[in-house]
Structure 1
Amino acid sequence: MRVWYNRTFSSVYAAIRLIREADTAGRFTIIHSNANRHTAAARLAHEFHGEPTGLEPAAYVDWCLEFCRKQRIDIFVPGREATTLAAHHARFLEAGTRVLSAATPQKLQLIHDKAGFYAETHLPQAPVAEFRRFEDLAGFDAAWTELRPRHTKLCIKPSRGIYGIGFAIVDEERSAAALLLGGVEYHIGYQDLRRGLGELGEFRTMLLMEYLEGSEYSVDCVGDQGRLVAAVARRKLAQAGSGQLIDMRPEIIEATTKLAADYGLNGIFNVQFREAAGKPRLLEINPRMSGGIGMACAAGPNLPWIALKGFADGFDMVAVPEVADGMRVAEIAEAVELP
């Protein structure tokens, strides 16, 4: 069976490694494509192909469809343009290819828009942080006036974004220069922020939110059309170099189960939580593999293998190992030769 992972995040390297380790019968031929021929994942895939650059989404879908025809792809697991491709399952099926998407196009669009996602999500086990959206300085000032009396610390982040780009804790005491010279990351001075927002005029939708002070949890999951098949929860530890702790906290697993059902989640996805006053709060759903997928799998379940084999054969054919709750895990950098 020929399985294609197109251009995506660097976590695909760990996914391909884990699948090949589990596939002792050699049933799956893993194909990977990327515009960068030196990508590390090219070392592990059975076949590697280049990808075009500069294509608009519709043109990229057409290219993917032709690639599936030419390469006789049985299963396509998209990373690049995953939301767009989720709307074209029927076209690929006509070519003999099944597409593994994390959710419907409508649900994926909502998940990627945090303002809409927060407004739509009802999760008593881990409610979202209180937030307000803004697109200009007046909107920011109104949101600040409303939220600041209720919360000791606020933060900002874009409604659409990845990797925490654009996130900052708003510091009311120090300037941008003081923060820079003090080596304080992910903070911005309140007055500097207001001045900058005023200079920009209007901008993309941003969120002003209560800042959650507690521990962060990352839950790597496999879903089957809304049913949670497997989950591994990692708690990020405050002390540098101490790794992460596998912590199958019941209310977090319960909240993740509800999210999977509410959003019809499928294949591999990741959910982020953070504590406030000892209670977990929802941060986001990532409808893809997380960067820490390898650490999660060290605790038992081989999530990329479970997702692929379950999609190929049905999840009743897949054994899900017990999670080693309480295990401490870490990732260690390894030097490799690139193709």
Structure 2
Amino acid sequence: MTRIWINRAGPSRVHAMRMLRNNPDGHPVIIHATRTNSSNPSQMFCDVPGWEPGGEASDEEYGQFVVDYVRDHGIRVIIPTARMAALSARTEDLAALGCTVMASSYEVSSTADSKTETYALARDLGIPVPPHHLVYDSVQFRDAVMQLRSQGYIACVKPDTGWAASSFRIIEDGATDLRALLTSARPVVDMETYATALVKARQQGERIPGLIVMPFLEEPEVSVDVLSTPQGQPLVTVPRAKSGWYREFREDRKVINIAHRLVKGFPLGYLSNVQMRYLHGEPVLLEVNPRASAGTFHTEGAGVNLYWEAVKVALGMEVSVRPQLGGRVFLTEEARMVPALPR
């Protein structure tokens, strides 16, 4: 019986729990999942739900919480969702307790958390990256947008660190005209609205995070899930291109080579995800996630259970699966019964 802990487990990790329970080796597991609140779906589908500290906890405080939790519950493997730096900093302490964190080193996790630092490393590795500008105020922001426009690009903006999906915006003037309001919502904002928000934030003493301004890159977006050794040697690679409701498993050697060079160059251990889009018809790096992506479960369509194979790596077991590329999967919504909330 192997006890596996998924920290900061969100709804997408419910799929991970299913895959781990239904692992092809029939290996028994007990799945712990912690969250800052008890209403998250992950708390209803794991075997042992639990609480964890939120963003108010420092890396040191969170790391100590992790060590205590592992000691108290006999955890063998941690599948991290967040607080990568805090977890990576305590890998030796956790190893002494017989627990493996499926995470890269502290230095690697910190570098991967910054898109500009990731781009600098990628450039040193000879990997193509998009033109980009790191800005901290309205003047720098306007200058960056205008420079990209002068080069024929549509600009977009997102935070340099952290998960940027919800903060991503395409910069389009006239974004709130009637035609835009009568079509499907897009994450757009005009340049002056964004710049004004930066000015107000500065006046009110708010902290402005580093923002990366870059071209809005061409489709498709390709997300490459890679399982590797702790030293960054790729073992299983599944590229999946987004195409509406479909995910296509493409055997694209350019994309696969870029992902492998990044995984080896960082190096990234266990599960990681490399995202790419296209610039002038060629793939360029979008970002790197040193963790399992939310869509890792899509790779079941390529005939691999990546979550279980990653746990096998953490347990020192051999991995020999090969993905079946060339097919595609169709994404659907699924309704699941859950226990009634207490009145």
Query: What is the TM-score of this pair, normalised by structure 2?
Result: 0.88
Q: Is the 8 A contact 1:78 1:100 kept in 2?
A: yes
Supply the distance in 1 between the matched residues of 2:309 and 2:292 (Cα, whole angstroms).
13
Classify the secondary structure of the residue corresponding to 2:209. strand
Supply the distance in 2 between the matched residues of 1:280 and 1:220 (Cα, whole angstroms).
16
Match of 1:205 in 2: 210
C-alpha spacing 1:194/1:63, structure 2 compared with 1 (3 Å): closer
Supply the distance in 1 between the matched residues of 2:129 and 2:143 (Cα, whole angstroms).
20
Kindly indicate whether residue 289 of structure 2 is the aligned counterpart of residue 286 of structure 1: yes
CA displacement at 1:279 relative to structure 2: 0.9
CA displacement at 1:7 relative to structure 2: 2.0
CA displacement at 1:323 relative to structure 2: 1.9
C-alpha spacing 1:165/1:46, structure 2 compared with 1 (3 Å): closer
Could you give the per-residue CA deviations for residues 123-142 of structure 1, whole angstroms, max 9, x where no partner exists? 78851110111111221233
C-alpha spacing 1:246/1:329, structure 2 compared with 1 (3 Å): farther
Supply the distance in 1 between the matched residues of 2:194 and 2:300 (Cα, whole angstroms).
40
CA displacement at 1:100 relative to structure 2: 2.1
Kindly indicate whether residue 229 of structure 2 is the aligned counterpart of residue 226 of structure 1: no
Match of 2:301 in 1: 298
Supply the distance in 2 between the matched residues of 1:234 and 1:214 (Cα, whole angstroms).
13
Match of 2:5 in 1: 4
Match of 1:31 in 2: 32
Classify the secondary structure of the residue corresponding to 2:288. strand
C-alpha spacing 1:338/1:162, structure 2 compared with 1 (3 Å): farther
Which letter maps to 1:203? I
Kindly indicate whether residue 245 of structure 2 is the aligned counterpart of residue 245 of structure 1: no
CA displacement at 1:149 relative to structure 2: 1.7
Identity rate, percent: 23
Could you give the per-residue CA deviations for residues 303-332 of structure 1, whole angstroms, max 9, x where no partner exists? 001100122024xx2221332323333243
C-alpha spacing 1:52/1:136, structure 2 compared with 1 (3 Å): closer
Compare 272-281 and 30-39 and name the one that shifted more.
Answer: 30-39
Supply the distance in 1 between the matched residues of 2:275 and 2:217 (Cα, whole angstroms).
12
Runs of 5+ consecutive residues of structure 1 not aligned to the other structure? none
Supply the distance in 2 between the matched residues of 1:82 and 1:152 (Cα, whole angstroms).
34
C-alpha spacing 1:255/1:19, structure 2 compared with 1 (3 Å): same
In the comparison of the two structures, how many residue pairs are matched? 332
C-alpha spacing 1:147/1:39, structure 2 compared with 1 (3 Å): closer
Compare 209-218 and 182-191 and name the one that shifted more.
Answer: 182-191
C-alpha spacing 1:208/1:49, structure 2 compared with 1 (3 Å): closer
CA displacement at 1:74 relative to structure 2: 2.0
Supply the distance in 1 between the matched residues of 2:311 and 2:270 (Cα, whole angstroms).
8
Q: Which runs of structure 2 are paired with 1:300-339 in the superposition (5 Å)?
A: 300-314=303-317, 317-338=318-339
Compare 54-63 and 291-300 and name the one that shifted more.
Answer: 54-63
CA displacement at 1:45 relative to structure 2: 2.9
C-alpha spacing 1:273/1:144, structure 2 compared with 1 (3 Å): same
Q: Which runs of structure 2 are paired with 1:143-154 in the superposition (5 Å)?
A: 143-154=144-155
Runs of 5+ consecutive residues of structure 2 not aligned to the other structure? none
Which letter maps to 1:83? A
Supply the distance in 1 between the matched residues of 2:67 and 2:93 (Cα, whole angstroms).
8
Could you give the per-residue CA deviations for residues 233-268 of structure 1, whole angstroms, max 9, x where no partner exists? 111114xxx422111211101100001001111111
Match of 1:107 in 2: 108
Classify the secondary structure of the residue corresponding to 2:218. coil
Which letter maps to 2:190? G
Supply the distance in 2 between the matched residues of 1:251 and 1:37 (Cα, whole angstroms).
43
C-alpha spacing 1:140/1:48, structure 2 compared with 1 (3 Å): closer
C-alpha spacing 1:168/1:38, structure 2 compared with 1 (3 Å): closer
Q: Which runs of structure 2 are paired with 1:130-141 in the superposition (5 Å)?
A: 130-141=131-142
Match of 2:129 in 1: 128
Query: What is the TM-score of this pair, normalised by structure 1?
Result: 0.88
